[in-house]
Amino acid sequence: MKECNSCGKCCIKYSKGQLSASPEEIEYWDVFRPDIAEYVQNSEIWKSPKTGKLIDLCPWLKKSPDSNAYLCDIYHDRPEDCKFYPSNIAEMIRDECEMLEEMDLADPQKAQKSLDRIMADSR
């Protein structure tokens, strides 16, 4: 399995209301990150502070000016949904994750162990 290349597919796919945040995360943002909290309304995340409608793309996802990679402007304070992604190989296959290699598809159990090692710092 490859390391994440920051292709942004996961962030793009899980925009438009596909993510959630726990009450604890929302409370943390209210207190310590009001810039994030302004995009939360009625416990739903990534809503426009002006219109109250869901934003098509995560407001914190930025394309790197130097490459095709994407960067997260709130990486250390991102929701747990983001921190724990990807959680399993089936999810990665469904989402066309670029971390997967041919050998991962041939032996999903071994690939899951590799994924668990890679994600140990995030989880």
Residue 4 lies in a domain: no
Indicate the pLDDT class of residue 86, thresholds 50, 70 and 90: confident
- Range with the lowest mean pLDDT among 29-38, 72-81, 112-121? 112-121
Residue 18 has pLDDT above 90, yes or no: no
Measuring CA to CA, how many Å separate 68 from each of 42, 49, 82, 107?
34, 28, 20, 29
Indicate the pLDDT class of residue 4, thresholds 50, 70 and 90: confident
3-state SS, residue 41: strand
How many folded domains does the chain comprise? Answer: 1
As a whole number, mean pLDDT of residues 113-117 equals: 91
Residue numbers of the domain that contains 76? 9-121
SS3 content of the chain, % helix, strand, coil (to 5): 40, 10, 50
Distance CA 122, CA 53 (A): 30
> pLDDT averaged over the chain?
92
Residue 3 lies in a domain: no
Q: Quick one: which of 56, 68, 78 has its CA closest to 5?
A: 68
